């Protein structure tokens, strides 16, 4: 059990609602894992298999961006330097063992993230117990946020650990560590670089400088070790296609699992992609302006950090699995926010964000229920219309963002 120095002030007991929400997240994640295992077995180890093939290509002197696992149309998407992390996958020469390695590393990262959150809560005077530590481990490892990355063998759990340590380091004024970790996450997935907005607001100049040097240094090292051609390919083909391919041309289909504000705009407005980008930024900017206006309490700082990640997920056309990255500020707020409207909205938003349900699941469920055609038809049509505009997890993200704003604007809130 992780330990930390006890707080001087009387400890506050964790609320039952906090534990219940974490438990619901774990339960929905386990259901998702079982459902995917039974209905989409090809998803098991999908990402770790791609990492394995990229590692093999690196060792063989091949272009890591032009190879894919046999029978799969999935390709490596990270900068050249990151491929070094997957050399152990290639050395074992087995997709099953590579998935096992990735899973062990993901479990270790989840435990590490839980330790960071647990200690951060103790420093803040929360009387967390063994039950809370177990819930935190389970939430980071197998919740609805984590199910897809876990079964795919992805690196999202690693990024979550980097974000948790980064946020915690920033709170403890260890800016160099925070900057290096955020930059490391951004090297892999790019979009975590948006946390730089929060670093600028905190005036964490050392963190900003270290982040820039770490990011540029990683890219430069990759070019030196593997030649400039791979790095040029990464920027000119891989990085551009990575996000362009997730954008929306025309009206989104109800079955598509990529969401965010651009999906809503594409479904509701007939405007071009550049216009949607500008509108997305214009809609989200006021939220961040409110969150960044006052950061004089820990609660407001955690709300601003959480809101920054949520706004990033809403702005970019991403899948719901990246919500795991905001585990640290979300957990702190869940444990520390007192009863009131901000907490209520946050709880409802988090519960909605667990509903990683697509239109196809709704269609299957309605088909399994013996309903008259006059009832099932309109219900299915209504579901198709709703899912065309927004997916349930995104409704949760919007509510979480609103909750963050309520925390920032509540003058009576002193946590």
Note the pLDDT tens digit of each residue in 234-272: 998 888 776 665 566 667 787 777 788 988 888 888 888
Residue written as token pair 């946050």: 346
pLDDT score recorded for residue 357: 81
CA-angle at 173, arms to 170 and 175, nearest 5°: 65
The yes-or-no verdict on residue 333 having pLDDT over 70 is: yes
pLDDT score recorded for residue 7: 45
Mean pLDDT, residues 410-414: 73
CA gap 264, 268 in Å, rounded = 6
pLDDT score recorded for residue 250: 65
C-alpha 187: how far from chain center: 15
pLDDT score recorded for residue 8: 45
Contacts of 162 by beta carbon, 8 Å cutoff, 6+ apart: 181, 182, 184, 185
210-219, 253-262, 385-394: least confidently modelled range: 253-262
CA gap 262, 259 in Å, rounded = 7
Residues 150-209: tens digit of each pLDDT: 999 999 999 999 999 999 999 999 999 999 999 999 999 999 999 999 999 999 999 999
Residue written as token pair 């038809």: 377
The yes-or-no verdict on residue 16 having pLDDT over 60 is: yes
| Distance (Å) of CA 2 to CA 130, 199, 333 | 9, 28, 20
What are the backbone angles phi and psi of residue 153, rounded to the nearest 5°? Answer: 75, 40
Q: Is 212 exposed, middle or buried (0-12, 13-18, 19+ CB in 10 A)?
A: middle
Task: Give percent above pLDDT 90 in the chain.
Answer: 70
Mean pLDDT, residues 385-412: 91
pLDDT score recorded for residue 181: 97
CA gap 96, 244 in Å, rounded = 32
Inter-residue contact 194 to 312 (CB < 8 Å): yes
Residue written as token pair 């007192």: 338
CA gap 154, 160 in Å, rounded = 12
Mean pLDDT, residues 105-125: 97
Q: Is 129 exposed, middle or buried (0-12, 13-18, 19+ CB in 10 A)?
A: middle
Q: Is 66 exposed, middle or buried (0-12, 13-18, 19+ CB in 10 A)?
A: exposed
Q: Label residues 359-378 b or e (16+ Cβ within 10 Å = b).
A: beebbeeeeeeeeeeeeeee
CA gap 167, 171 in Å, rounded = 6
pLDDT score recorded for residue 243: 63
Residues 131-151: tens digit of each pLDDT: 999 999 999 999 999 999 999
pLDDT score recorded for residue 260: 86
The yes-or-no verdict on residue 4 having pLDDT over 80 is: no
The yes-or-no verdict on residue 1 having pLDDT over 70 is: no
Helices 156-171 and 327-336 pack at an angle, to 10 degrees, of 60
């Amino acid at each position: 059990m992780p330990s930390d120095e006890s707080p001087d002030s009387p400890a506050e007991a964790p609320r039952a609602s906090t534990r219940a929400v974490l438990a619901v997240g774990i339960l929905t994640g386990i259901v998702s894992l079982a459902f995917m295992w039974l209905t989409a077995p090809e998803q098991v180890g999908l990402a770790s298999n791609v990492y394995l093939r990229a590692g093999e290509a690196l060792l063989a002197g091949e272009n890591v961006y032009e190879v894919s696992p046999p029978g799969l149309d999935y390709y490596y998407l990270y900068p050249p330097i990151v491929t070094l992390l997957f050399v152990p996958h290639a050395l074992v020469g087995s997709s099953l063992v590579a998935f096992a390695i990735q899973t062990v590393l993901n479990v270790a990262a989840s435990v590490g993230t839980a330790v960071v959150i647990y200690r951060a809560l103790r420093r803040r005077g929360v009387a967390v117990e063994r039950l809370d530590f177990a819930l935190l481990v389970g939430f980071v490892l197998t919740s609805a946020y984590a199910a897809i990355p876990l079964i795919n063998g992805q690196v999202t759990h690693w990024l979550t650990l980097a974000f948790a340590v980064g946020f915690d380091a920033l709170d403890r004024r260890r800016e160099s560590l925070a900057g290096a970790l955020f930059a490391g996450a951004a090297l892999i997935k790019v979009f975590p670089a948006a946390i730089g907005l929060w670093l600028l607001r905190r005036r964490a100049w050392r963190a900003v400088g270290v982040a820039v040097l770490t990011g540029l240094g990683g890219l430069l090292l990759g070019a030196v070790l593997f030649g400039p051609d791979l790095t040029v390919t990464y920027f000119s083909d891989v990085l551009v296609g990575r996000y362009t391919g997730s954008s929306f041309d025309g009206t989104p289909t109800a079955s598509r699992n990529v969401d965010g504000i651009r999906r809503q705009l594409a479904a509701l407005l007939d405007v071009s992609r550049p216009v949607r980008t500008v509108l997305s930024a214009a809609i989200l900017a006021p939220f961040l302006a409110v969150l960044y206006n006052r950061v004089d309490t820990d609660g407001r700082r955690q709300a601003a950090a959480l809101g920054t990640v949520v706004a990033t997920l809403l702005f970019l056309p991403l899948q719901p699995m990246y919500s795991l990255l905001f585990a640290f500020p979300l957990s702190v707020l869940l444990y520390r926010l007192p009863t009131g409207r901000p907490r209520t909205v946050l709880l409802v938003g988090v519960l909605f964000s667990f509903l990683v349900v697509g239109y196809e699941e709704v269609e299957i469920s309605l088909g399994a229920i013996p309903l008259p055609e006059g009832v099932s038809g309109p219900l299915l049509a209504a579901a198709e219309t709703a899912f065309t505009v927004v997916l349930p997890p995104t409704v949760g993200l919007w509510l979480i963002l609103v909750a963050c704003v309520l925390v920032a604007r509540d003058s009576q809130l002193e946590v």
